[in-house]
Amino acid sequence: MDFSLLTRHRGLLAFVLLVLGLAVTLCVTNGQLKDIAEVEWLDVVGEGSICLLTLCWITAVMISRPPGKVTALLVAGLSFFNFSAMLDVFDEFTFYSDAAHWLSVVESIPAAMGMIVMSIALYWWHQEQLALNKQLQRREMWYRAHDQIDVITQLYRADYWRARAMELQEQGVKAAVVVLDINDFSQFNLRYGHAEGDRFLKEISQLIVMNLRAVDLACRYAGDRFVILMPEIAANEAREFALQLECSIRNVAFRSGGQTTAIFHSVRSVSAQLQQQVTLAEMMAGLNRQLDETSRQAA
């Protein structure tokens, strides 16, 4: 887990602690302790678990999301709910005099308020998710699997691509496959270092995504090799796209470190049509062989 985002939520942390402190203060100042024999320990375990889990949810929100309206509403709603849950826990250990009976009467109101705030938060989260879906449209294809995202390029890895390609193949959807390989990338790494190599891969992946249609999918296949799935496209159109993408990458002016001199790099590509009578593994093996042969010819 990465807790670095917590430092950006100081205001929300203060609010959560304030709500917790208020619940404790109200119970301590208005309640009187029960005899230990009167405590229902099963209720303590159940209601205490709700409090602890709600605090875990609040923490999960703050370590997962940057500051913003949705984050603030989620934390506020959960905090109000937790306020009522805390009062329920203290009810198991204390009882109230007639003068303080109002506390047990109103203890469920913050929970209801919290649910209302959470409902508003979920609406705005839905709107936020729609916007994020558009941003990710050319990086994923109708299925999200965050554990299959490549950490360097932020594209999905080969397994994700294979699964989506097999789905199209099984459905009989006409589609093209384009495979790109960066020329002499090992020499680039030797000269400029792996950190700069990773940065170059990231920039190339962003350029590839910029060139895709909304329905296409680009993934990092292996090392410096990328694979693109293009539904509903003819073979000649896919080849033309690949050549245009080669040209775009060839004109990328990459600068290493503090250098002002631009580094230009080229790629090579191959393409093929998905066919139901040819397995995906056989097709990819053939495309990879073609790329390796063009690499040897260039050398």
| pLDDT 10s digits, 282-296 | 889 999 888 888 765
Neighbours of 185 (CB within 10 A): 18
In this model, does residue 230 exceed pLDDT 70? yes
**pLDDT given for residue 142 in this prediction:** 57
Of 138-147, 194-203, 270-279, the least confident:
138-147
248 backbone dihedrals φ, ψ, rounded to 5°: -60, -45
Model pLDDT, residue 79? 95
Taking Cα atoms as reference points, which of 67, 52, 50 lies closest to residue 13? 67
Please say whether the dihedral angle defined by the alpha carbons of residues 27, 28, 32 and 33, taken in this order, is positive or negative. positive
pLDDT at 80: 94
Output the pLDDT for position 123. 94
Range with the lowest mean pLDDT among 47-56, 194-203, 248-257? 248-257
Q: What is the pLDDT of residue 44?
A: 82
Pairing of the two strands 267-273 and 175-182: antiparallel
- For position 177, what pLDDT does the model report? 92
Residue 278, pLDDT above cutoff 90:
no
Pair of tokens at residue 119 = 């409902």
Average pLDDT, the chain: 85
Read off the pLDDT of each residue in 94-105 and give the average, rounded to a whole number: 70
Q: Residues 94-110: what's their mean pLDDT?
A: 74
182 membership: H or E segment, kind and range: strand 175-182
- The model carries a pTM of 0.66
Asked whether the beta carbons of 63 and 74 are under 8 A apart, the reply is no
Burial of 57 (0-12, 13-18, 19+ CB in 10 A): middle
Question: What span, in angstroms and rounded, lies between the C-alpha atoms of 179 and 229?
Answer: 9
E-assigned strand segments in 193-253: 217-222, 225-231
Domains of the chain (ranges, CATH numbers)? 4-135 (no CATH), 146-298 (3.30.70.270)
Checking if the pLDDT of 49 tops 70, the result is yes
Tokens read off for 185: 């990338």
Q: Dihedral of the CA atoms 112, 116, 118, 123 (nearest 10)?
A: 160
pLDDT, mean of residues 155-175:
88
Least confident range of 63-67, 92-96, 108-112: 92-96
